[in-house]
Structure 1
C-alpha cells in the first residue's frame, strides 16, 4: 500500500451520508413515480424536461413548429436521460463504489468510508429502478419503438477502463465515480428548478436529495485519497480526470440525430443542429460549465497547487491562466 502523507485518523468522523435511515429516498420516500391520470392536462403547462436546458430547441424550425414537437423532443431527452441514469448507476457508479467497499484501492480505507459506500450502493440501485420504471411509462405513453439499448457515454467510459493497465483500474473506476457524482448533483439541481410533470418532478427531486449527499461523500473521499497519493500518481490521475470530464460532456450525435428525425425535421435542420452541438468550442464550454462542482472539489483538495496539474487544466481551458 502507498503510505499516507497524513494521519488517516483525522478523517475518522467523516465519510457518512448523514442520517441515512431517515433521509435516503429508498428508505423514506412515499412517491410512486407513476404518470398522473391528468397527464394530458399537465402537459398543457408543464414539461417532460426543461426546454431551456436543450439549446437545440431554439432552432427556428423547432421553435416555429407545433408545440407538440418540442414536447416530444423533451420526452425523447427524458427517456434517454433516464435510460442513461439506469446504466450509469448500475454499471459505473456502483462499480466505483465496489472498489472502496472491497479494498481494491491501494490506500488505507477507514471503516466509516466503507459503511457509507454500502449505503450509497443501495441508493444507486434504487435510482436505477425508479429511472427505469419512469422511462418505461413515457415510452408506453408515446408508443416509442426506437428503444434505447446503450449510451455513448457509458461505452466511452468502458473503453477508457479497458485500455487502463490492470494495476490502475481500481483508481480509475473511483475517479469516474467521483466525476459522475459531482456532475449529476449539479445537473439535477438545474433540472429541478423547473416545473415538470408531477411524477418526473417527484422522482428528480428525490434523486437530487440523495445525490447532493453522494457528491459530498465522493468529494471527501477524493480529498482523502489525494493526500495519500504520490506526485506520480497524482499526475496520472489528473490526466485521467481530464479525459473523464470531457467524455461526460461529449454530444451523442447518433442518439440526437434519431431523436430529431423522429419528429420529421428537415435534413437541413438536423445537420445544422448536429454541427452546432459537435462544435469543439461548445464542448469546452459545456465541460467547464457542467463540471464546475467537480472543479471546485479538485480545488478544495489542493489539486491545482501542483503546477503541472494546473497547467494541464489551463491548457484544456478548464481553468484560467
Structure 2
C-alpha cells in the first residue's frame, strides 16, 4: 500500500505543533524551575502539597486517611520526585527514541516533510521537559535530604524489556507505538489543579508541561492516523497486539517504589502491602486504564483500528473497550 498525501486522508491532518516558536515552554517560559525562597516555601507548605493528593489514590486507604500532615506532605514529596524522575527518563530514553523513528526514517512508509519538522520541535520540547523535571526533583530531594534517580522506574524497565522482546524487523514499529501511547495518555485532570493546591513552582512546571503535551498528543494522534492508513493488514494486526501490551505497561503501579515510599514515613512492609493491594485489583486496574487511556483508545478508533473485528475482539477481551 502506497503512502497517501496527508491532505487526502483527512483535511484536519497538518502535522504541526501550532505556533511552536511562540508557545512552546522551551521557547518562551525558560527559568521557571526553581523552588521559592526557604521562608516563602515554608509558608506555602502550611497549606499546599508537593503533588496533588487527589492523584495519589493510595491516600484513600483507611491506614492513611487520618495521618499526620507532615507524613502526608512527605508522601506527596516522594510522589513528586518519583513522578519527575520517571518523566526525565521517559522523555530521554523512551519518547525521544520514538520520535527519532519519525525524524530519521525508521518506519516502513514515507514520512511527510512537515511531520519530520514537527517531530524535531517535539524532540526539543521533551529535552526541556526532562531538564526542568530533573531540576525540580533534585531540589525537593535536597530539601528532604534524600537521593533521587537511584533506581529505574518500573514502567521504564518494562518498556525497555518490551522493546527487547520485539523482533528486530518490528522494533521501529514498536518504538512509534510506544511514543503514540505515551503522548496520548495525558492526565487531563491535572489541568484542573490550581496554584492554591500545590507548591507554586511545581504547579508552574506541571501546567507548562501539560500545555505542551496537549499539542504533542494531537500530533501523535495524527501521525498514528497517517501511519495506520498506510500499512498492510498484517502490520495492522501486529500493531494492535503491541498497542494492547503497551497500554497495560503504562498503567502499571510501581509497587517496589511505592512500598519504599510508604516505609520511609514509618509504615511497616505489611502495612505498605495492605495499602497497595487494592490498586492491584484487576477490575480497579482495568477501570484505571480505561480512564487514563481514553484519549489513546479514541485516537485508535478514529484511525480505524477497531473496524477490524479481530482487533475489536482483542481489546474487548482485555476489558479495554465494550464493543
Range of TM-score over shorter length = over 0.9
Query: What runs of 5+ residues in structure 1 fail to find an aligned partner?
Result: none
- Per-residue deviation at 1:274? 2.4
| Residue 166 of structure 1: aligned partner | 168
Offset at 1:117?
A: 0.3
What residue in structure 2 maps to residue 33 of structure 1? 33
Aligned to 1:211: 213
The structural deviation recorded for 1:128 is: 0.3
Seen in structure 2, the aligned counterparts of structure 1 residues 201 and 14 have a Cα distance that, compared at 3 Å, is: same
In 2, Cα distance between equivalents of 1:316 and 1:194: 39
Matched-pair contact (CA < 8 Å) for 1:51–1:74: yes
SS of the counterpart of 2:252? coil
Secondary structure in structure 1 of the residue aligned to 2:186: helix
Report what 2:8 is aligned to.
10
Post-superposition shift, 1:188?
4.3
Partner of residue 224, structure 1: 226
Query: 1:213 Cα shift?
Result: 0.3
Q: Distance in 2 between matches of 1:170 and 1:191?
A: 36
One of 182, 185, 203 as aligned partner of 2:184: 182
Query: Aligned runs of 1:251-270 on 2, under 5 Å?
Result: 251-270=253-272
SS class of match (1:60) = coil
Match of 1:303 in 2: 305
Residue matched to 1:117 = 119
Structure 1 CA distance, aligned partners of 2:106 and 2:269?
49
Q: Deviations over 1:204-226 (max 9, x none)?
A: 11101110000000000000000
Give the superposition deviation at 1:33.
Answer: 1.8
> Shift of residue 78 of structure 1?
0.4
Q: CA RMSD in A?
A: 1.8
Map of 1:22 onto structure 2: 22
In structure 1, distance between residues paired with 2:43 and 2:197: 14
Kept after mapping to 2: 8 A contact 1:69/1:263:
yes
| Map of 2:251 onto structure 1 | 249
Could you tell me which of 79, 85, 94 is aligned with 2:81? 79
Aligned residues: 319
Cα offset for 1:59? 2.1
Contact 2:52 2:76 in 1 (8 A): yes
SS at structure 2 position matched to 1:123: helix
Unaligned ranges ≥5, structure 2: none
The whole-number CA distance in structure 2 between the counterparts of 1:105 and 1:192 is: 41
- Aligned equivalents of 1:128, 1:85: Cα separation in 2: 6
Q: Aligned pair in 2 of structure 1 residues 185, 16: CA closer, same or farther (>3 Å)?
A: farther
Question: Bigger CA drift: 191-200 or 104-113?
Answer: 191-200
Change (3 A) 1:98 1:145: closer
What is the CA–CA distance in structure 2 between the aligned matches of 1:190 and 1:135, rounded to whole Å? Answer: 22
The alignment status of 1:143 with 2:141, answered yes or no, reads no
Q: Distance in 1 between matches of 2:187 and 2:283?
A: 24
Tell me which residue corresponds to 1:156: 158
Tell me what 1:48 maps to.
Answer: 50
TM-score by length of 1: 0.95
Q: Which residue of 1 aligns with 2:136?
A: 134
Matched-pair contact (CA < 8 Å) for 1:31–1:202: no
